[in-house]
Amino acid sequence: MAKTVSFAVVHFCVAFSVGYLMTGDVMIGGALAMVEPAVNTVAYYFHEKVWNRSKSIRLKNVSTALYLSKAIRSLKALNPLKALSA
State the DSSP code for 78. Answer: T
Residue 9 lies in domain: 2-85
CA dist list (Å): 84 to 2, 57, 71: 70, 42, 21
Neighbouring C-alpha atoms within 13 Å toward the C-beta of 1: 0
Taking only the tens place, the pLDDT of each residue in 8-27 is 888 889 999 999 999 999 99
User: Which residue did the predictor score with more confidence, 28 or 70?
Assistant: 28
* Residues making up the chain, counted from first to last: 86
If one counts the domains in the chain, the total is: 1
pLDDT of the residue at 62: 63
pTM of the model: 0.51
User: Which residue did the predictor score with more confidence, 79 or 3?
Assistant: 3
In terms of Cα–Cα distance, which of 37, 50, 53, 47 is closest to 4?
A: 37
- 9-20 exposure pattern, b = at least 16 Cβ within 10 A, e = fewer: eeebeebbeebb
7 — pLDDT class (breaks 50, 70, 90): confident
Q: Is the distance from CB of 33 to CB of 12 less than 8 angstroms?
A: yes
**pLDDT surpasses 60 at 48:** yes
Kindly state the average pLDDT of the residues 42-67: 77
